């Protein structure tokens, strides 16, 4: 996952950063609300760890602006001190998805973030998607590429859906494996073979392969055209 930490306490921020990075996540961090909000809006994160008490702009305001002004639904895990527990209610009202009271176990943070991310991925699955000359209809599980229906195995459909949520963004292999196979820990050959089938079927239907292998980084969808 790509995770943003917005926390002004340097020790807590460093602990979170080091732990999450060691677990294989891509982590970015901000020490105040204004910087954090800017990163949240301009970057592409799967989850945000947001401290309630921040200098400048507090966590509740960051969350409200993220949801109401930027229309960004990235899952937010709010961190609150025990003596401000009442604030958590306000935090939820402003769009936080979950909260943890300090002090917390680092493993617990990761577990909550993973749960939030999965819940969001589930919502994505049931959404109609369009990217350039590709569309996906969740009701009929139909993929349409350059006006032609493409018949795909379920895991290939899921793979394409993930790529379609953010066209042009590079998804790492690990990220795609987690999104499609969850905790089943498939081998990288599984991803490779499904990716092969997906790209072959798309190229056959539409005349070109819209998926790029970005060497050493992963894959991205680069669809042409648009509506
Ligand atoms: Ca703080």
CA distance linking residue 68 with residue 91, whole number of Å: 14
Q: Quick one: 2-123 is in which CATH superfamily?
A: Response regulator (3.40.50.2300)
CA distance linking residue 184 with residue 81, whole number of Å: 36
CA distance linking residue 117 with residue 119, whole number of Å: 5
DSSP, res 4: E
| Ion ligand 1 contact residues with beta carbon within 5 A | 8, 51, 53
Q: What is the mean pLDDT for each group of 10 consecutive residues in the chain (227 residues)?
A: 96 97 95 96 91 91 89 87 67 77 93 88 70 86 90 88 89 86 69 93 94 92 75
| Residue 185: per-residue pLDDT | 59
Model pLDDT for residues 63-114, shown as the tens digit of each residue: 999 988 887 888 999 998 866 666 666 666 667 888 888 899 999 999 999 9
Distance between Cα 21 and ligand 1 center (Å):
21
> In terms of Cα–Cα distance, which of 207, 189, 190, 209 is closest to 198?
209
127-221 topology per CATH = Arc Repressor Mutant, subunit A (1.10.10)
| Domain map (residue ranges) of the chain | 2-123, 127-221
Distance between Cα 9 and ligand 1 center (Å):
6
Distance between Cα 10 and ligand 1 center (Å):
9
| Residue 67: per-residue pLDDT | 85
């Amino acid at each position: 996952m790509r995770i943003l930490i917005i926390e002004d306490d340097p020790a807590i921020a460093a602990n979170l950063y080091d732990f999450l990075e060691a677990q294989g996540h891509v982590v970015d961090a901000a020490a105040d609300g204004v910087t954090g909000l800017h990163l949240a809006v301009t970057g592409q994160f799967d989850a945000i760890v947001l401290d309630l008490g921040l200098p400048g702009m507090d966590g509740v305001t960051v969350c409200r602006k993220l949801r109401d002004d930027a229309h960004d639904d990235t899952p937010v895990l709010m961190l609150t001190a025990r003596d401000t527990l009442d604030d958590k209610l306000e935090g939820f009202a402003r769009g936080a998805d979950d909260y943890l009271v300090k002090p917390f176990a680092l493993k617990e943070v990761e577990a909550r973030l993973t749960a939030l991310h999965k819940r969001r991925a589930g919502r994505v699955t049931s959404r109609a998607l369009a990217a350039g000359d590709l569309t996906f209809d969740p009701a009929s599980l139909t993929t349409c590429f350059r006006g032609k229906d493409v018949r795909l195995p379920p895991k290939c459909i899921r793979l394409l859906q993930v790529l379609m949520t953010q066209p042009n963004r590079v998804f790492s292999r690990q990220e795609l494996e987690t999104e499609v196979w969850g905790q089943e820990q498939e081998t990288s050959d599984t991803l490779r073979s499904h990716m092969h089938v997906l790209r072959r079927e798309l190229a056959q239907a539409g005349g070109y392969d819209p998926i790029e292998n970005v060497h050493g980084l992963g894959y991205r969808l680069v669809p042409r055209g648009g509506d």
